[in-house]
Amino acid sequence: MLTDYKISRIIRGGENGDEYLVRFYEGEITTKDEMDNNTKNTQPVTRYRRTMLLREETISISNKGDNEIFSILKNELSKDKKRDSIYVQKITPPVTK
């Protein structure tokens, strides 16, 4: 199983800084037939599909840039020992030379 997050809402300038309504999901990479909207033809498409909402929470974060916020959320995903994060939301080790 895989897991990912989605920022559902951002409330700027709350009491504790900006507040982010974040949803954490479980999902799988599957192949299903989908219709192409341009051609109206059906073809198999392999992609990540969310199957269940795991939890929803509001996270207060102040004075952080986008990259820092994404790092905080990726760190939350990494705490789930039952599921792996989707590729684009994995914590990647720093590149060393």
pLDDT in tens, 17-73: 788 999 999 999 999 999 999 999 999 999 999 999 999 999 888 778 888 889 999
Q: What is the pTM of this model?
A: 0.80
Task: Give, for 84, the enclosing helix (H) or strand (E).
Answer: strand 84-85
What confidence tens digit (pLDDT) does each residue in 5-20 have? Answer: 999 999 888 777 788 9
3-state secondary structure of 97: coil
Residue range(s) defining the domain that contains residue 14: 2-84
Identify whether 95 is part of a domain.
Answer: no
Give CA–CA dist 30/12, Å, rounded. Answer: 36
What is the distance of C-alpha 4 from the center of its chain? 3
Cα–Cα distances (Å) from 33 to 2, 30, 39, 44, 52, in that order, read 21, 10, 14, 4, 20
Domain count, the chain: 1
Identify whether 91 is part of a domain.
Answer: no
Give CA–CA dist 59/57, Å, rounded. Answer: 6
